[in-house]
Amino acid sequence: MPQLNGTAAMPGPPKASNASSLPQGVLAPLPRDEIDTVPAKAYPTVLQQHLNNVRKFNDCVVLTRVGDFYEMYFDQVKQYAPLVNLKVAKRATVLGDVPMAGFQHTQLDRYLKMFVQDLGKQVAISEQVRLPDSERSSKAGAPMYDRKVTRVVTAGTLIDESFMDPYENNYLLAVHLEGALPAHSAHDGRSEAYERYKRTTKVGLSWVDLSSGDFYTQSSDLASLPSLAARVGPREVVLDSTMESAGQAQLQKLLGEGGYSLHYHQTTQTASSVAEWTPMLERAVPDKDQDNFTAPEIAAGSLVLDYIRNKLIDQQIQLQPPVRRSDDEYMSIDKQSLRGLEIRSTLRDGTFQGSVLHAVRHTVTKSGARLLSQRLVSPSMSLSVINNRLDLVQEMVGQDAFCEDVVALLRRTSDTLRLLQRFSIGKGDADDLLSLAKTVDVMGRLSEVLHDHIVAHQDGVVEQEEDVDLEPPELGFLWDILGRLDLQGPARVSKSIQHAIDEDGLDRRHVAEAEDQAEAEEMTDEVVSADTAGEKGPRLAKRASKTKVTTAESGPEEIWVMRRNASPTLERAHADLEKLLDLKRELARRLREQLKAESLMLKWGAQLGHYCHIKGRDAQGILSALEGARSIGSTKSTRTFYLADWTHLGVRIDDSKLRIRTEEERVFGKLRGQVVENLMKLRRNAAVLDELDVACSSATIAKERNLVRPILSEDTSHRIVGGRHPTVDAGLKAQGRVFTANDCAVGDQEKIYLITGPNMAGKSTYLRQNALITILAQTGCFVPADYAVIGLVDKIFSRVGSADNLYQDQSTFMVEMLEAAEILKQATPRSFVIMDEVGRGTTPEDGVAVGYACLHHLHHINKSRTLFATHFHALADMTRDFDALACYCTDVAEAGDGSWAYVHKLRRGVNRESHALKVARLAGLPESAMAVAAEVLADLQKERRRSAGHHSASLTALEYGPVLAVAAG
């Protein structure tokens, strides 16, 4: 029996008196079984870190940095690797094989484009962050890196990615809806209650371009949301997470079927005032302006800023102060008109080439192109703003040498706004600094050119070109531009940058980086090729290590980005390094003499450190006489050894180089800080360059295509002489053909033009060209006409080129009617309306009724300037009593030999022949079919003449006007 309390056990049962000596309380646990002490199986650290990030960012593709690669693992490999053409491999673990796929870190932008832009995914980038010594385990094989997501990349939060469109803004749009969404059943209907709901429900919008720092807000209503969203053209739309339950289909419908990339966000920081946005702005919004922002705008702005903070994680960003937009400042171009008039892209295939923007854009800078695009979709409603823009264009048109000087200087500038945004978030490299410095120098030269031109003009030295009839304007607008160029601070920054950065060294670094990248890609291709062929992969580790070994006597060529005199500390550090390199050369010379070995070289390698190397016959020499030498390897033709003198000297050289690199980083940080200090001035200066670029672009187009300056007024006139369609005119000119110009004087006594004529005779072109001339005029561009006087237009409406929308259960005619309904509800006496073939998607009788109802409403209720093209010739008879409506037509000229040609010139009158069979023959219909069509047409025309005066084809307004007027009401 065991001893208790040190007393020997006695034979027989224990005595009761010994019970108090027994152990009391809970017994100690039994020792763990051997099977329990075996550690649980787990994934390698990097895989577990990746898996943790996948669980945390479950709506993202997670890319984890591992060495020089970004990699995916587990289920996302099977899901996404085939979509971006990544080869799938396996990684063996104690828990089984794990699918993996990856690509070199230099290819990140390429794959981000595929994931984010092409597939519409969000990508969480997990970088490897070296753990500080205090957090690292002392155990062998303990992880050296933590892998944490540093940024989530989405379509709307791009900053400086190479695949961004440099000619268009990259907007992220936040939409805040005041109140709840309507029930789905109510939404499906088009009741008056729902229409009233749309027009009374307030909506706040806020959109941001992180690449340039632009920040806008606007308050509107739900009915206007589709057109506003189309005008902004966002890459991504963010909504409050409470709206997710409504479903993608309903939300896309509310936004206007734009196919937007929609994401939801739960706001963590709800702002109650604009002042709370200040930490993310380059400067605070003045107190006097803060009260102008409405509650929906503040909610939308807070949503977009919180979403950005959530995606950029630890990065700081500096946006420009928010600019409030309002409907009163800009002409409203609804979604259908942006599409139908082909402002940014063509209607047929959605391409940029063939659009109005393509026809009028001759900018030489990327940011100037973005400004022109913004202006084109948001023409101004301010006469002073428009005339200032036109004054600048006119000056460029009249002064060729001045315009050419400005363009030549602008070509030498960089995309300053996007460069500055890189610096505002703590990015930006030496190339960006140098590009910015050179742009600032160009700003200074532009300032001189502007000043010299103004002075020369005032002194009467410069005269207007002989072919310009307009009187030279006063140059107050040029003084204004010159006054907005603030160069004092930026010039000092530019001087500091160019004094500090060694441009030649920067070029050498680029060459070296390109060579390294080419070598890395070559090795990667070899591995992939070998794997595909089922062969053993090449041994690349040895080859890669060789690239790290110095082969030149002077050591590896260190490429310094900063000039030696960039700072006193840097100058001293370089001087110290030169002395040490001289000592190295002297040591090498002495050793060669002592060993009689001319091939001796002092080297450094990543594996061996500092060592000496001899090759050829010299390798047969004896090292015993060399104090401090220790052989580390030899062959028949080489000998490698350590030498204490070289080891000590090499360490001193390495330390000296480290001091130089540290000081270069300090100088670079100081320069970047100076740029950020001058951020506001540089952004304002960049905006001036963009304005000059747009003006020069308009002037160049004006001279090439014989455009004229429009005259804008406050009335509702529209008098165009010799008007042309901007894109059709340019296309015909390129083919050596001439566009048939036409006049238009709608808006005075004649508010409506009812236009008839043959198919293909130019009715649709005529409608569109007058709308586009109006848009260009209020954009501040010269227009394709011989003369143009235009009263300000508040809204452009276009009902042309409809197509069905089967997904939303809408036929072509239904889409047409929806568009017509919006026009009749929203058009004002200051609006400009073009309507083409209203009612063509139904029976002739119904089509005539709908067409008449639209004309009646436009004439008596809207009183807008309207161009209305139709093949329903009866409408001309039915509207004879409309005192503000006039009939015009195009025609076909037929020769005696049977040939014919279109007459695109507009004339007064009604053309009751559509000549559709001529178009059918041009399209290539078989002659047998054409013969049948001609026969049927002849019979129908006979029947119509026989029943004239008795049937609906010849109804007059006196007979049926009141009935249709009631229907229209």
pLDDT digits (tens, 9 = 90+) for 262-314: 999 988 777 788 999 999 998 899 988 888 999 999 999 999 999 999 999 87
Residue 442 near residue 416, CB atoms below 8 Å = no
pLDDT of residue 625: 67
pLDDT of residue 195: 78
Q: From residue 337, give the alpha-carbon distance in Å to each of 222, 343, 690, 871.
A: 18, 8, 27, 22
Cα–Cα distance measured from residue 901 to residue 889, given in angstroms and rounded to the nearest whole number = 15
Sequential DSSP letters for 805-822: BGGGTB-HHHHHHHHHHH
Q: Which pairs with CB-CB distance under 8 Å and at least 24 residues apart come from 539-547?
A: 545/605, 545/606, 545/607, 547/516, 547/519
The four Cα atoms 690, 696, 699, 701 give a dihedral, to 10 degrees, of -80
Closest CA to 87 of 525, 552, 556: 525
Other beta carbons within 10 angstroms of residue 186's beta carbon come to: 13
Cα–Cα distance measured from residue 96 to residue 43, given in angstroms and rounded to the nearest whole number = 9
From the number of C-beta atoms within 10 Å of its C-beta (0-12, 13-18, 19+), residue 185 rates as exposed
Residue 344 near residue 338, CB atoms below 8 Å = yes
Cα–Cα distance measured from residue 489 to residue 675, given in angstroms and rounded to the nearest whole number = 9
**Model-level pTM?**
0.84
Task: Give the DSSP letter of residue 234.
Answer: -
Q: Helices 812-826 and 844-857 sit at what angle, rounded to 10 degrees? A: 20
pLDDT of residue 811: 64
Non-local CB neighbours of 427 within 8 Å, separated by 6+ positions:
159, 160
Residue 67 near residue 76, CB atoms below 8 Å = no
Non-local CB neighbours of 5 within 8 Å, separated by 6+ positions:
21
Element (H, E) at 400: helix 400-410
Closest CA to 707 of 631, 783, 774: 783
pLDDT digits (tens, 9 = 90+) for 488-523: 999 999 999 999 998 888 888 878 877 777 776 676
Which residues in the chain come in under a pLDDT of 70? 1-40, 133-143, 182-191, 459-473, 520-521, 523-557, 618-622, 624-625, 801-811, 896-899, 947-969
The four Cα atoms 559, 564, 569, 573 give a dihedral, to 10 degrees, of 60
Cα–Cα distance measured from residue 437 to residue 490, given in angstroms and rounded to the nearest whole number = 8
Residue 107 near residue 524, CB atoms below 8 Å = no
Token pair listed for 411: 């070509």
Token pair listed for 163: 């695949």
pLDDT of residue 142: 56
